[in-house]
Structure 1
Amino acid sequence: MRFDCKDDIIQLTPEWKGERFPNGRPRVPDAVLNRLRKVTFEEAWGPLWGQGYKYQWECDFKLVHPDAKLVGRAVTAVMVPMRPDLHKTLLDYGHQSENRRGFFNQWVIDQLAEDDVVVVDLFDKIAQGTYVGGNLSTAIATRTKRGGAVIWGGIRDLEQVVKIKETQTFYRGVDPTGIGDVTMTGMNVPCRIGKAICMPGDVVLGTISGVIFIPPQLAEAVATQAEKSHVRDIFGFIRLAEKTYTTAQIDTAWTLPMWQDFIAWFNNDPQAKPYQHLTWDKELEKAQTTAANNTQVRL
């Protein structure tokens, strides 16, 4: 076996047709990441559920900065309880055959790039399951700039980690012990995080609600659908506050006059400006067809 194997990563992500990192990991464009920074957990959840991706999120986390959002590209690691023969074999292999230094967690962090997120299955181990502390969290911040970590396990040095404002960390618990009695069996392989699955190159979206892993080939479509939901919500909140529409009208299929009202608002209101790259031709056409069919029925 090899850690971070390019051939394996490409084999496991055939639906991604865009740019890749040198190790084969999908590289979703920065522009798509920036768009996803504006959307909510639920707005990103909807498109994935609609596409049949029902195990892409986990909500049972603690997070270092409750008011900060995490968006980046996944670098995955899978850890298992230590078995001495396996542990020695894999540690020696990494040191001798792949010229890696330090312990398994350091191998992963040493290869991070800008906007990466470390995603680690540490089988919910807290004591001696502390994947990062103050030093490694500083290294993550230095390498990823705006990235961070999602750890199905523990962290240590929380008082130090909370002072690192550049990055976000999701974790299960805190313990003073260092990492131990664990072995890494895979780097940039499919990774289970609670009820969710994450693949190398997935876009990680972490909010106060939880973490979503967006397949790279769906990231742009998810961004578009999420943005559409987001800007429609802005309009809906305004019209509800004005008592123009009822909640039932806002929450069900919009009528043609509502769509026309929305389009006029969308084209002119400053709050809609960040989303004016979106188009609404299909939605408007559907509303027009529905209105025409309803007219024929009445006739």
Structure 2
Amino acid sequence: MTAVTRNAPSYDLPEGARHVRADLADPSTLGAAVTGADALFLLPAGELLGGGAPATEVLDVARSGGVCRVTLLSSQVTGVRPGAPTHGRLREFEEAVRSSGLDWRILRPGGFASNAYAWAETVRTRRTVHAPFAEVALPVVDPADIGAVAAVVLREQVNAGQTYELTGPTPVTPRAQAKALAGALGEEVRFLELSREQAREHMARFMPEPVVDGTLDILGEPLPSERRVAPDIEKRSSAVRPVPSRPGRPATPRPSGRRPADGEAAEKTTRAGRGGGGGGEKAPPTPRGLGGKKTPPKPGAHL
């Protein structure tokens, strides 16, 4: 298992994992990470979504290194809002994956429940959540559930050519999330609703303008397909388990949970599993509720 980031990680890696510095924006740096790997988990993030080398070059390097399976973490937006200018780069990666000649799967999660970390400072200092669209409910998904799905599809050797939409188990409003925080803390947490313009002004401090507008459109005027709980949560196969079928984790903040280190969430990471395992490598636990035949753990890669 190889973890790859542009900079040295400020957090501990799992036992048996090694680290290689490389950059998805420069595929020529990826050779050492993917050589000998048979599966790749591809996570385009940060500046890469705005530019960088063609996505096909990343897949070419992976294929040359021996990778035969690839799983891409994309976004629900690429499917339900195909014309969204903010997701053009992800659409490029999706097309590159589909035309790569490799066995491929694509994950399209909706909004991340962990975006509630944006409220951390005001909750900590003033026990207050500031957010727009107080009563608009979306089925945000816990990143741990995305990881559980990825752990299954990355290692399986069947069901290639599948695209899975992932959401949480139930729609939840920002006001309800603030109430859940209050329950977790055992203290009152006030909710102050922002207007769209107030939210836009705040978000523009750290997000490009087109991304701000696109995000506010989804938060304030979601499409019916963005409000629903994704059917892929309970999709089955008669041959193997394609995705975890246990209930997804609710969007209930967990103050005791580990918060990503500063900058950690923005890192592009790669994990490349090498043939033969070894090195004390442990396979991720299989999510509960997955019927069907067990598939032996296989090494994989995350970019």
**What is the TM-score of this pair, normalised by structure 1?**
0.27
By percentage of residues, which structure has more helix?
A: 1
Structure scoring higher RCO (CA < 8 A, sep ≥ 6) equals: 2
Normalising to structure 2: TM-score of the pair? 0.27
Higher strand share: 1
